[in-house]
Amino acid sequence: MSGPALAPLRYDPAGVMIPETGLSPDDLRQLAPRLEAARAEVLADVDLWTGGGKVPAEKDPLDAGFLNLPERLLEEYRGTRSTSQLEKILNASRRLAGVVDRVVVLGIGGSYMGARALFDSCCHPYFNELSRAERGGHPRLYFEGNNVDNDAMQGMLDLLSDRPTREVADRWGLVVISKSGGTLETAVAFRQLLAVLRRACADDAQAVADLVVPVTGNSGRLFELAKALGCDDVFPIPDGVGGRFSVLTAVGLLPAAILGLDIVKLLEGAAAMNAHFRTAPPGNNIVLDYVGVGHLMEEKRGATIRVLSAWAKGLEAAGLWYDQLLAESLGKNLQGATPLTIVNTRDLHSRGQQHQEGRRDKLITNLIVDQVRRDKLKVGTSDLDQDQLNALADKTVPEIMAAAISGTNQAYAEDKRPTADLHFPRLDEAAMGQFFQMMMLATVVEGRLIGINPYGQPGVEAYKKHMNANLRNH
């Protein structure tokens, strides 16, 4: 991959090359001109959005602002650091870290799923259970406002003190994320938690304002509420960036910075993916090749279910982020594959039977992490060998995982079940930046390829309309 020197993601579709049930290299070669045309259309969309020209009706809405965002943020940060958006985000995260030990992120859909993916993939797997020192002084992070579950909210409230105190260990803050502020799930949670926070601040308006950080549009209910509260830090969700494409705005960057993650590396990974996407030809372009395989498997083989098979627990939330991205972007006009995220080896013991012998309607893409972050654990010897594991004493956990991956792929291949592999060099910010940008680019390219506007989500608005009407009419 071209761009900044970092370890690239790698896509290997060899396991899809099964003539009877999968694809042939000729299939991909024949699709190449259409993939290049779709890429050109996506890049032209960016130019149209940037230039502010009239958007054709069939392309409205056109939320193409996500594509150049990593480069814009990095250029600003390197040029005018003290006034840049990234520096403001970093300053707000440092300020919160200095005065609270818990932060609750309120948001739903794209307003929280990317941040959750970063939390799970890049942080210690039990981050919130560590001491403050072990967390590097960074607050614990929780996610709410993504459902209307009474008992879950009550459980969250059990953790948050309403007693005024100066002790950092007992203080907490809120990051509330909503472009309009009109999303009911998030708005209700904010009202409930804000009432508790005001009591914890003894109704000191400035203290409350210091502990609430909204991320929102430049108008709307949350914007007006932030003004009424007098919040010191309010971060924008840029125009032209839809919710599910917003992970590399303050929507994802602020929670990541609060956790102490390297948001510059995150953006550098995304920028590297952009450079690769713009220049590499089909056959050597990870975005176009991923799109081509998925599209052809759906068209030629009826593989309407796309399984992201994550071979690391830390990637489950990233898969769920992608579920929303694909489903909301392409699930229109009776089209669009169905995404499904699983975690292995866990789900080999639940879904594995169906994937091995069920309907041939699935394309499985394995998400594989090549290098673990921690020392490799050995099975070890024991004087209690009833489990007969002494024979494997020198094997490591990563070796067991590698054997499971190769064994599962082999079993699928023997039954002519197509699989592809997407390799992460390791789970870190640079790799996740690449992954986010790759999947966002792939989704809009596929939309243009099949004649679907990948932006907007008209079907989601229907449930919101009826839910609000039901509440107000009964």
Place of tokens 């938690």: 193
Q: Which tens digit of pLDDT belongs to each residue from 128-183?
A: 999 999 999 999 999 999 999 999 999 999 999 999 999 999 999 999 999 988 89
Helix axes 113-122, 429-450, angle to 10 degrees: 140
Residue of 63, 69, 110 lying closest to 240 (CA atoms): 63
Q: Which tens digit of pLDDT belongs to each residue from 337-377?
A: 999 999 999 999 999 999 999 999 999 999 999 999 999 99
| The pLDDT value given to residue 240 | 93
Report the C-alpha gap between 17 and 320 in whole angstroms: 27
Q: Which tens digit of pLDDT belongs to each residue from 79-128?
A: 999 999 999 999 999 999 999 999 999 999 999 999 999 999 999 999 99
Helix, strand, coil percent content, the chain, rounded in steps of 5: 55, 10, 35
Within 13 Å, how many C-alpha atoms sit on residue 358's CB side?
11
Catalytic residues: 328, 349, 464
Dig out the tokens for 245 from the structure: 């494409």
Provide the H-helix boundaries in 365-428: 397-414
DSSP strand pairing (362-371 vs 10-12):
unpaired
Residue of 78, 26, 472 lying closest to 271 (CA atoms): 78
For the chain, list the domains and their CATH numbers.
10-53+267-454 (3.40.50.10490), 66-264 (3.40.50.10490)
CA distances, 247 to each of 243, 253, 328, 412 (Å): 8, 7, 15, 34
Q: To the nearest 10°, the Cα dihedral for 200, 203, 204, 209?
A: 80
Global pTM value: 0.96
Mean pLDDT of 48-72: 93
Residue-wise over 175-214: b if at least 16 C-beta within 10 A, else e?
A: bbbbbbbebebbbebbebbbebbbebbeeeeebbbbbbbb
Please check the confidence at residue 461 and state whether its pLDDT lies above 80. no
Report the C-alpha gap between 175 and 201 in whole angstroms: 16
Largest Cα span, the chain: 75
